[in-house]
Amino acid sequence: MPDNPPDLAARASELRRQGIVGVTIVWADNNGIPRSRTVPIAALEQVAERGVGVTTLLSVFDSHDSITFGHEGLSTPSGDVRLMPVMERLVALRGQPAFAWTIGQHVAADGTPWPYDQRSILARQVEAAAQRGLRFQAGWELEFVLSPADGRPLPTGPAYGPVALLSVDEFAADLLQDLEANGLRIGQLHAEYGPAQFELSLAPADPLRAADEQLLARQTVHAAARAHGLRASFAPLVTTTGVGNGWHLHTSVWRDGRNLLPGTGDHGLSPEGEGYLAGLLRELPALTALTAPSVPSSARLRPGYWSSAYAIWGVQNREAALRYIPGTPLLGADQANVELKPSDASANPYLALAAVIAAGLAGVEEKLSLPAPVQDNPGTWSEEQRAAAGVHRLPATPAEQAAALERSTLLQAALGPAAYGAFRAVRDADRAWAAERSAEEVVEAHLWKY
């Protein structure tokens, strides 16, 4: 069960003095959609000790709030688990001044571990790395599109320009203040490439904190948008032809306070850094089934959109699915990291990070080596050129993603049989739902899920 600070009464009293009336306990489901329970501040002490009862079937909700009974372990409406607030993550929300927020973990009704709890799955991978003397840093870049609630379009472009950000100046100012007050460190906020599209980057943190903060960041953005008559969408696609929203995942692996990625080997990598990248590359087709799992996700992974259509790695190549970012004399060698580009808001952040760590750890332990980096856009090559270079397309449909994940015994083991079974059932349900609808209907149905 999560560790909680001992003086709950003092914490609850402090929140009351701040005008807090409720605490929202949040988790992410197998679609990357945040779900929650809100409890009155008067019940916080009791809930911190005993949790809140929720149905086991929330693990088999699909993206459209239907329940699938396709997973044998959760195939009846019977069953209950406890949602436990992780009190050390508790924060009073600046943008929602009557509420506090925290992350939640699920435990069985008797308090023992529950195999479907995604945060616990990530914690196991973090512990597996720690037993090998390794730790990880992770951080997301979050792209989102803003739309006025009254339907009027926002001014667009120029891409990456201050004028585009000026169109939402008051929102941006409040958002920066809200993020800081909520304890979130960000690297930057800027206008992105797409119409009314913006991006903020979260500072790197240990994997559990990084995943927790990803969920808090999206809550913070939604609240700031609402305060200014706007709606924010993190959906992988907002139109069938646009660039879509990625949530690029940056990671690095460390030992004894030293980043293991940089070195004197080929392309500025150490042997362990090369193994880490090679482990990710080997599992990349299956990884995308967890890091970009929705039906619109695979449609977003198109050549020429910097969203990564091919299973390649490159050095500072923004078209590569795995972009190695070396340290520099200005920033220092320890700034080296790997960007996983086929990643978006429909990924459960805990499962995504658990899979990345498992794949990277395997590469380090097996001392895997890398092929030559690709420094070009393979989408402009002929089929013959790609075949000669050993360049293959990432899964282009949900069915291809499912098949790739089914072949990965490594990632299945990282999730565990129960969680993998539930995840697969949810993805099957989403795929069946989308099969009866047009691409436009699918994109529209996901637009405000995230």
- Domain shared by 67 and 131, yes or no: no
Query: With a cut of 50, which residues of the chain have pLDDT below it?
Result: 1-2
- Most distant CA pair in the chain: distance in Å? 68
Q: Domain boundary at 90, 114, 138, which?
A: 114
- Domain final position from 114, 138, 155: 114
Check residue 345 and give left, alpha or beta (phi > 0: left; psi -120 to 50: alpha).
alpha
Pair 396, 249 in one domain: yes
Alpha helices by DSSP H, 196-237: 207-227
Q: What is the predicted pLDDT for the residue at 241?
A: 87
CA angle 49, 50, 56 (to 5 degrees): 140
What CA–CA distances, in Å, run from 188 to 87, 300, 333, 345, 384?
A: 28, 24, 21, 19, 41
From its phi and psi, is residue 373 left (phi > 0), alpha (psi between -120 and 50) or beta?
beta
- Which amino acid makes up residue 22? G
Is the previous residue joined to 158 through a cis bond, with omega within 30 degrees of 0? yes
On whether both 221 and 274 belong to a single domain, the answer is yes
pLDDT score, position 354:
98
323 and 358 co-located in one domain: yes
pLDDT at res. 9? 86
pTM score, whole prediction: 0.95
Contact, 107 vs 84, CB < 8 A? Answer: yes
In a domain, 1, yes or no: no
Q: Which residues pair with 38 in a beta bridge?
A: 24
In total, the chain counts a number of residues equal to 450
* Rounded Cα–Cα distance for residues 448 and 450 (Å): 5
Structure-token match 């679609």, residue found: 31
Is 366 within the bounds of a domain?
Answer: yes
In 301-397, alpha helices (H): 349-365, 383-389
Q: Domain for residue 203, yes or no?
A: yes
- CATH code for the domain of 211: 3.30.590.10
Write down the residue that tokens 């008051």 correspond to.
170
DSSP 8-state assignment for residue 416: -
Are 101 and 24 in contact by the 8 Å Cβ rule? The answer is yes
- Structural domain for 107, as ranges: 8-114
* Together in a domain, 294 and 183: yes
Q: Which of 114, 136, 152 marks a domain boundary?
A: 114
Tens digit of each residue's pLDDT (9 = 90 or more) over 143-202: 999 999 877 778 777 889 999 999 999 999 999 999 999 999 999 999 999 999 999 999
In 52-182, at which residue ranges do the beta strands (DSSP E only) sit? 52-55, 80-85, 91-92, 99-108, 135-148
Place of tokens 């069953």: 79
Q: Quote the DSSP letter at residue 328.
A: B
Query: What amino acid is encoded at 413 in this protein?
Result: A
In a domain, 256, yes or no: yes
The number of folded domains in the chain is 2
| Nearest in space to 250 (alpha carbons), one of 280, 215, 285 | 280
- pLDDT value at residue 5: 53
Contact assessment for residue 57 and residue 79, using Cβ atoms and an 8 Å cutoff: yes
In a domain, 2, yes or no: no
Helix, strand and coil content of the chain, in percent to the nearest 5, comes to 40, 20, 35
